[in-house]
Amino acid sequence: MARYFYTDKGKTLGPVSPNQILTLILKDILSLDSLIMDTRSPHWIKIRDIPELMRFLYESDIQISDWAEELALSGSSDKSIPLFFHIPTPKLITLSIVTLGWYEIYWLYMNWRFLHYFRKNSTAKAFWLDLINPLAIIRIFQQIGNDSELNRQKEERDFTFSGIIWILSLLTVFIFASGIINYLTLIPFWISTLVSFAALTLSIFCIVPVQNHINATNNYLNKKLSTHTFGHYGTIILGILSWIYVLILWIPALL
């Protein structure tokens, strides 16, 4: 039932339903601290202070959480938290190769997470919505290059082209390494092998300048390295399994 009013850019809009409130949160138009007004009440109240609405949000299929709680759970102070995903570039390259590119998805997620929690104070955790949207992925690259904190000691960088090529390269890796192309066409497996490695190399070249840009400021500010999460280890396991699959697929075909 549409009964909530909200404000956006100084305008009062609505009424909207709880489901529409959820959509607005996912679009970063609203957060749990946004003020809304129930048609049954003349008062503006924070979303987090409306029990029935919070119950609906937490029971939805989309995970909603409090960015402030996320910060507290990280066990770090504001000053020690790195700007974006802080990892040594050689380690990032190694993990990307070891995981056949899957670690780069985790790399993207960690930078997306930083943007949402520490730049936008977002309360929505729906990375998969941005992952399937090429424009949203490119915006992550752009926001890293344009971030005011990262660029305090240097000029802004435009990583738009890097984002575009990265998407195309990683898609090429997954498509050719999976063997789909070989089953649909007469292309031999040795060509898939070369294309996969070339595309993986290109995808790494796309993220290395971005990571160097991030690390330069993190090191200057003496920020600690990002802590390892479950996704770090999960991606490594997924990558090893992917390599096993690829070797089982490629070796007999090449011999």
- Check whether 72 has a pLDDT greater than 50: no
Cβ neighbours, 10 Å, residue 18: 19
Report the SS3 class of residue 246. Answer: helix
Residue 21 confidence (pLDDT): 84
In the structure, what pLDDT confidence band is assigned to residue 60 with cuts at 50, 70 and 90?
Answer: low
Which of the two residues, 39 and 93, has the higher pLDDT score? Answer: 93
Most confident of 114-118, 122-126, 129-133: 129-133
In the structure, what pLDDT confidence band is assigned to residue 85 with cuts at 50, 70 and 90?
Answer: very high
Report the SS3 class of residue 87. Answer: coil
Which of the two residues, 240 and 41, has the higher pLDDT score? Answer: 240
Give the residue from 93, 112, 64, 114 showing the smallest Cα distance to 211. 93
Residue 117 CB partners (closer than 8 Å, separation 6+)? 67, 70, 71
Residue 87 confidence (pLDDT): 94
Q: What is the 3-state secondary structure (H, E, C) of 113-178?
A: HHHHHHHCCCCEECHHHHHCCHHHHHHHHHHHHHCCCCCCCCCCCCCHHHHHHHHHHHHHHHHHHC
Give the tens place of pLDDT for each residue, 187-198. Answer: 888 888 899 999
Distance between CA atoms of residues 159 and 156, nearest Å: 10
Q: Quote the pTM value.
A: 0.73
**Average of per-residue pLDDT across 57-72:** 56
In the structure, what pLDDT confidence band is assigned to residue 181 with cuts at 50, 70 and 90?
Answer: confident
Tokens of 142: 């752009």
Residue 73 confidence (pLDDT): 45
Place of tokens 């850019």: 9
Residue 249 confidence (pLDDT): 81
- Check whether 135 has a pLDDT greater than 50: yes
Phi and psi of 196, rounded to 5°? -60, -45
Query: What percent of the chain has pLDDT above 70?
Result: 86
Which of the two residues, 71 and 12, has the higher pLDDT score? Answer: 12
Q: Which amino acid is at 61?
A: D
Place of tokens 């060509």: 191
